[in-house]
Chain A
Amino acid sequence: MKAARILYQMLRADFLERVRRYSFLVTLAAALYLAYGVATEKVWIVVGDGYRGVYNSAWIGVLMSICCSTFLSLAGFYIVKNSVQRDSDTRVGQILAATPMRKDFYTLAKTLSNFAVLACMVGVLMLAAVGMQRLQPSASAFSLWDLWAPFLLFALPSTLLTASVAVLFETLPGLRGGVGNVVYFFAWTASLAMGVSGIDDPTGLQLLYRSTHDALKAVDPGGADNFHFSLTIGGERAVRTFQWDGIEWTGKVLLMRLAWIAVAVGISLLASLFFHRFDPARVWRKERGLKVAPAMESEPGAAPWGGASVPGPLSPLVRSGGSQFWPLVQSELRLMLKGRRWWWYAVAIGLLGGQFVPPDASVRSWCLIFAWMWPVLAWSQMGCREERYSTGALLFSCERSLTRQLPALWTAGVLLAVVTGGGMGIRLLLAADWHSFAAWLAGACFIPSFALALGAWTGSSKTFEAIYTVWWYIGPAHQIPGMDFMGTTPASSTLGIYALGAALLVSAAYWRRRQRLGYA
């Protein structure tokens, strides 16, 4: 009973803390927009040769729950992956660590509080689903169970799993920071691939796949042979419909879904093995993998500030009056790169050489794509570093901090892009391929501008890490011309857009910083 009360109070405090943040409201708004897309027939699940299910409760429920679980399993992770970190930052963790609280209890409580935040969004969408069926003119008879069962059995286990994975990532030293944010995206795409390749997956795609396949086969045996499944947003509408009465929730199916709850609990308990319990000797306080020793006052070299006398007066400061822009760029670059290990540089150099040496153009292109992914954690600090390390008051009280430090920071970010992608740039210059060179340069300016704007507006590196990774995957990695900001796609026509985008993003960052300073 006492344990339940402690669990409830931990969950409640964490839940309230997070639902009162803007990020929660923004994600909820995005989820509701997705629901609106479903209601206005902008979001579709197309099965077979252009079929969709008739709008009954089962189809609406599954459509919305799949959208919900897919969206929340990605965006939700980034929303909730901060619960342990926050306890560490606020020093509440040290208070908790001094109580009899058990490690597995803590990670379980964190999982449940993550889940409560995400489940709250699922709950809102469940209510929206009722409204949607009422508003949908072609919707047939209403069945609450058919409508809500996919939410309960697809979306909720999926979000519980996301909640537990977020805690696991927070407890694993290597995955706690930006690396984890990037790694999770690839893990997420792999889990979706599971769903369409015949393996039961957390979001329930595979179950839906099998169920709709069987129903469609009864209507259009030929079409079912060419079965495919896609979630289309704003694409061509499915014109043909078929009757689908929902998933048959057999004992086996229920067991499969409930198994994900057991997996989530297991992951949560696994996380407790790695949880540092806020022990300063084990807390990895640096983001970039460099372990910091605990505070060193007891060490021989701790340098006490003893004695009551003060050394002689300071020499007068001579100001040269010249622009100190480049030393500041140098310092910003040092801040971005300091603490990185030798292998980080080795990989960057390897990718740099790979853009220049190999005769195969596609190999060179891929090297650039990866070269501009590799420094993502350096760029993601731009614009939010002051927030994160509480150095804002030191910097913003300096003369011309807005017109000197911000441009220096941006220049350092561009230099990083130019150097890491320099192999391709030199090759394009030597080949006098001016259009491609301009596209490459636009990409080199766009990436740090994007990082700077997102950092300045959100105050967090996570937003850039998540959005950039998704964009990198969809755009450059899949070489979709409009989305390829690196200009690796032949005859890219978006060069001007990205150059303009870079300028707008820098302006947005400047405006935000100016607003933050309260002074011009």
Chain B
Amino acid sequence: MQLAIENVSKRYSGDKWALRNFSLQLKPGVLGLLGPNGAGKTTLMSILATITRATDGRVLWDGTDVASRPDALRTTLGYLPQDFGVYPNLNAVEFLEYLAAVKGLDAASSRQRIDELLNLVNLADVRKRPLGGYSGGMKQRVGIAQALLNDPRLLIVDEPTAGLDPEERVRFRNLLSELSGERIVILSTHIVSDVEATATDIALISQGTLVEHATPEELLRRVEGKVWEWVVPSTELNAARQKYLIGNTARRGDGVHVRVLGNTPPVGAQPVTPNLEDAYLFRLSQHRAGATT
């Protein structure tokens, strides 16, 4: 099972490129696709989910070009888009039955699958209620259930935790980890903690290009010795921001504790253990600096 993305570019109207020469090879596991808003994550997801065609380059699923044979991938694809709707008059069972039929699943096996999925996302008790009355988080869970209907080998989830509360988010991360065994899971997000908890690989994307593809451990190693904690008076915080790359900040009794990223620490700063958010910010700032010079 292999997904190969080879020099994929996507141009929208005029000269606006959402992706440029994006290449990646994926094997079973969870890939966390991290990037700021507007980086091209959703465009890449749409191309991989066969919703839109790449302008250049190709996507190969087990060696088959998806552009010429999209159904080779669609048969085994589970896709949870960033924004999706539901039919408000249908209940969860009817909606999933409909999508199971669209996916070509037979009635008997899909019925059992739907029962299991509704239990999995804890919607079994409200299965007969019209979807129009569901909250945002519950609709998202219906979306997760539909993505798993056909037991996909490639699962693409685009900003899946948007609309979920913290407890639901934890639950979803655990679910992704459980599912990842013999599948390729692509988790697109800008929430670093989601990736930190689940990803076996991370791809950083910015301005439509691949910045880095590495394991979380590799990314963390690269930022070792470059993260510092520094206490500054709150009145000097803005000046500090102008001078240093600052990650997280927290107000305490003795001032504002800031995480400074860089090769040279400010005077009085103490080294700290880096986390993935530090690695992400550091690598992204390096990329931006490189793009502007």
Q: Chain A residues in contact with chain B, CB under 8 A?
A: 285-286, 288, 290, 292-297, 301-311, 313-320, 322, 324, 327-328, 330-332, 334-335, 338-339, 385, 389-391, 393-401, 404-405, 408, 517-520
Contact = CB atoms under 8 A, between A and B. Distances in A.
A324 B101 contact: yes
A315 to B, nearest CB: 6
Contacts of B137: 297, 305
Contacts of A390: 83-85
Contact of B119 (A297, A311, A317): A311
B178 A313 contact: yes
A318 B84 CA distance: 27
B171 A305 contact: yes
Given A305-B137, A394-B99, A320 B109 contact: yes
Given A290-B89, A305-B122, A338-B90, A328 B130 contact: no
Given A286-B132, A295-B134, A391-B85, A303 B126 contact: yes
Contacts of B98: 328, 331-332, 334-335
Contacts of B133: 292-296
Interface string B118-144: 011111011001101111111001010
By Cβ-Cβ distance, the 5 closest A-B pairs, closest first, are A390-B85, A339-B89, A292-B132, A393-B81, A297-B135
B81 A394 contact: yes
Contacts of A400: 71, 74, 104
A310 B171 contact: yes
Interface stretch (B49-57, B234-242, B257-265): B49-57
A286 B88 contact: yes
A394 B79 contact: yes
Contact of B122 (A288, A304, A332, A393): A304
B60 to A, nearest CB: 16
Contacts of B70: 519-520
Nearest to A290: B89
A303 B119 CA distance: 11
B190 to A, nearest CB: 19
Contact of B49 (A288, A332, A393): A393
Grouping DSSP codes into helix (H, G, I), strand (E, B) and loop, the A interface class, with mixed when no group exceeds half, is loop
Interface residues of B, number: 70
Contacts of A404: 102, 104
Nearest to A393: B81
A319 B105 contact: yes
Contacts of B75: 399
Contacts of A330: 101
Nearest to B77: A397
Nearest to B122: A305
Given A324-B101, A398-B99, A391 B87 contact: yes
B138 A319 contact: no
Given A297-B138, A317-B105, A404-B104, A519 B150 contact: no
Contact of B52 (A313, A391, A399, A518): A518
Given A297-B135, A399-B75, A310 B178 contact: yes
B122 A303 contact: yes
B103 A398 contact: yes
B8 to A, nearest CB: 14
B124 to A, nearest CB: 8
Contacts of B103: 398-399
12 contacts: A297-B135, A317-B109, A317-B150, A331-B94, A338-B87, A393-B46, A393-B79, A393-B84, A399-B104, A400-B104, A401-B102, A518-B53
B116 A315 contact: yes
Contacts of B81: 393-394
A520 B74 CA distance: 12
A307 to B, nearest CB: 7
